[in-house]
């Protein structure tokens, strides 16, 4: 059996301001109507002998991941929650230990949740080739045939032993090169982009991990043994997992093992690592422009505009990218796309929060949008999914006014319960235990006006919560 292992713990910081730490690119709909995570699983439709997937993600993304899996019918997936970030080797060790507990020595198909692959048929053929190699206890990595001297990817050098061979022994892994080195790689041949995707038997991988990075395996096994089940999730023990070395799978195993082979493929792959990559994958007009969302352009060339909430107009610009979100706008030359991380660093230095989350914040019950705020007040638009409820809670420093604008609200205030229809409202005094629920069949939308001396999200004492939050 083949078990897909989806590593979904990245932050996608170079796609800021769209991608944020608490809502990263793998959870976004960058291309089409499905998120990157959903597309990663949907493109496996048609692969034979496929088992239920294992998804490894950050604890803070758990409800969004679970909801997105349910939307595409993946209701039996195993979701492992990383309590702390420890890079890809410990994450994959967890998945391998989990997979081995489900099936006797399955083959693992390891994929990142935030990659784009355009030629699905070619990708499936490469998977078949990799599975055949993995059945001989080899560790297979996918090498992407380079189309340009790319400096943003690591490289794999493989040795072609015989014409027509499906896989080739790997001689070395190379770090991201400078331009001259990348040009030399292309001229010499035998070098491939390191896709970060793998196929191997669980036991083969764990044996090599035990040999080359035993500390990773020991910590992962102990953390899994101490794990607990919570709703749809497997909560990994924090203390044990925190002892694992912070190391990538390449450094931990692939660069050291003598079992590693490369399956080359040309399937229109991209890690969508920056806005330059996004522009390259996007549909363009005759002047090389890509416009996503509400935009007007006059005489621009090779430009990317991304905006969903307001009109963006461009006039006579070239090689520019303009990324608009409700609370932040990025304007940069496309050639500087890799430097977006410097903006993130400056945001952090200034103790700002625009790198963490959007103005619209997602919760397991729905979402809220901070519409306006000032001294002693804040206005939010709250959307509650059908059948969902916020926690029963109390605030020490703020009162709240709720106005229903769509749907029906069930409101609990201390021991009183009432239903509110559209255009009806209620007031929640400071210190009142309260709960908001949606008993209807359509989303509930309310306007919440908070007032008080302190309006932080940490002014919440929860008494009861359907989602196990403290």
Question: CA–CA separation, 13 vs 40, rounded Å?
Answer: 19
CB 213 within 8 A of CB 252: yes
Q: What is the DSSP string of 260-308?
A: EEEEEE-S-EE---SHHHHHHHS---TTS-EEEEEEEEES-BS-EEEEE
pLDDT exceeding 90 applies to what percent of the chain?
87
Give the Å distances, CA to CA, from 156 to 55, 125, 165, 173.
Answer: 26, 20, 17, 5
Note the pLDDT of residue 237: 94
pLDDT of 98 reads 96
Go through 68-100 and write b for each residue having 16 or more CB atoms within 10 A of its CB, e for each that does not. bbeebebeebbbbbbbeebbbbbbbbbbbbbbb
Residue 457, pLDDT > 90, answer no
Q: For residue range 157-184, list pLDDT tens digits in order.
A: 998 766 667 889 999 999 999 999 999 9
pLDDT at 253: 94
Q: What is the mean pLDDT of residues 99-119?
A: 94
Asked if residue 5 has pLDDT above 70, the reply is yes
Residue 19 tokens read as 């991608």
For 191-224, the pLDDT digits (tens) are 999 999 999 999 999 999 999 999 999 999 999 9
Residue 139 has pLDDT above 80, yes or no: yes
Taking residues 31-57, what's their average pLDDT? 95
* CA–CA dist 57, 112 (Å, integer): 11
Rounded mean pLDDT, 20-42: 94
**pLDDT tens-digit readout, 373-387:** 999 999 999 999 999
pLDDT band at 410 (very low <50, low <70, confident <90, very high): very high
**37: part of which helix (H) or strand (E)?**
helix 36-42
- The pLDDT assigned to 313 comes to 97
Per-residue confidence (pLDDT) for residue 468, from 0 to 100 = 77
pLDDT at 470 over 80: no
3-state secondary structure 233-259: EEECCHHHHHCCCCCCHHHHHHCCCCC
DSSP-derived 3-state class of residue 335:
helix
Mean pLDDT of 255-277: 92
Q: What is the mean pLDDT of residues 347-359?
A: 93
Question: How does the average pLDDT of the chain come out, rounded?
Answer: 94
**Residues listed for the chain:** 470
Q: What percent of the chain has pLDDT over 70?
A: 99
pLDDT at 7 over 90: yes
Residue 309: the pLDDT is 87
Domains of the chain from N-terminus onward: 2-270 (3.90.550.10), 275-349 (no CATH), 360-464 (2.60.120.10)
State the residue for tokens 């020991």.
218
Q: Are 173 and 155 in contact (CB under 8 A)?
A: yes
Q: By CB neighbour count within 10 A (0-12 exposed, 13-18 middle, 19+ buried), where does 359 fall? A: middle
Instruction: For residues 205 and 224, give the distance between their C-alpha atoms in angstroms, rounded to a whole number.
Output: 17
What's the pLDDT at 401? 98
Quick: pLDDT tens for 52-86: 999 999 988 999 999 999 999 999 999 999 999 89
């Amino acid at each position: 059996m083949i078990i897909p292992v989806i590593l979904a713990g990245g932050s996608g910081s170079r796609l800021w301001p769209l991608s944020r730490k608490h809502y990263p690119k793998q959870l976004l709909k960058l291309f089409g109507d499905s998120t990157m995570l959903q597309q990663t699983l949907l493109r496996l439709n048609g692969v034979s002998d496929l088992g239920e997937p294992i998804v490894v993600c950050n604890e803070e993304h758990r409800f969004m991941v679970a909801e997105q899996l349910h939307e595409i019918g993946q209701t039996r997936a195993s979701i492992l929650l990383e309590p702390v970030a420890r890079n890809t080797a410990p994450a994959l060790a967890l998945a391998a230990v989990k997979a081995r507990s489900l099936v006797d020595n399955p083959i693992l198909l390891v994929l990142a949740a935030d990659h784009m692959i355009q030629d699905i048929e070619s990708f499936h053929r490469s998977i078949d080739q990799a599975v055949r190699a993995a059945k001989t206890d080899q560790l297979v990595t996918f090498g992407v045939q380079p189309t340009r001297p790319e400096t943003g990817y690591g490289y794999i050098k493989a040795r072609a032993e015989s014409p027509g061979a499906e896989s080739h022994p790997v001689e070395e892994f190379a770090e991201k090169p400078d331009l001259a080195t990348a040009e030399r790689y292309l001229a010499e041949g035998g070098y491939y982009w390191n896709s970060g995707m793998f196929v191997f038997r669980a036991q083969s991988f764990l044996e090599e991990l035990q040999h080359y990075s035993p500390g990773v395996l020991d910590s992962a096994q102990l953390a899994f043994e101490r794990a607990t089940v919570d709703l749809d999730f497997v909560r990994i023990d924090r203390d044990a997992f925190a002892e694992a070395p912070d190391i990538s799978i390449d450094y931990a195993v692939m660069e050291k093992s003598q079992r590693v082979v490369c399956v080359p493929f040309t399937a229109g792959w991209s890690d969508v690592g920056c806005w330059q990559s996004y522009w390259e994958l996007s549909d363009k007009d005759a002047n090389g422009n890509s416009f996503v969302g509400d935009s007007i352009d006059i005489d621009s060339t090779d430009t990317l505009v991304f905006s969903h909430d307001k009109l963006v107009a461009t006039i006579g610009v070239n090689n520019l990218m303009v990324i608009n979100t409700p609370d932040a706008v990025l304007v940069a030359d496309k050639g500087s796309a890799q430097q977006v991380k410097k903006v993130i660093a400056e945001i952090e230095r200034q103790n700002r929060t625009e790198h963490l989350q959007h103005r619209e914040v997602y919760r397991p019950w729905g979402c809220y949008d901070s519409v306006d705020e000032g001294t002693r007040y804040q206005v939010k638009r709250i959307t509650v999914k059908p059948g969902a409820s916020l926690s029963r809670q109390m605030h020490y420093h703020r009162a709240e006014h709720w106005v229903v604008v769509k749907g029906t609200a069930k409101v609990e205030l201390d021991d009183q319960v009432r239903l509110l229809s559209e255009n009806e409202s209620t007031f929640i005094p400071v210190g009142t235990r309260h709960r908001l629920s949606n008993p209807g069949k359509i989303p509930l939308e309310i306007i919440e006006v908070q007032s008080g001396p302190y309006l932080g999200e940490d002014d919440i004492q929860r008494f009861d919560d359907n989602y196990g939050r403290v």
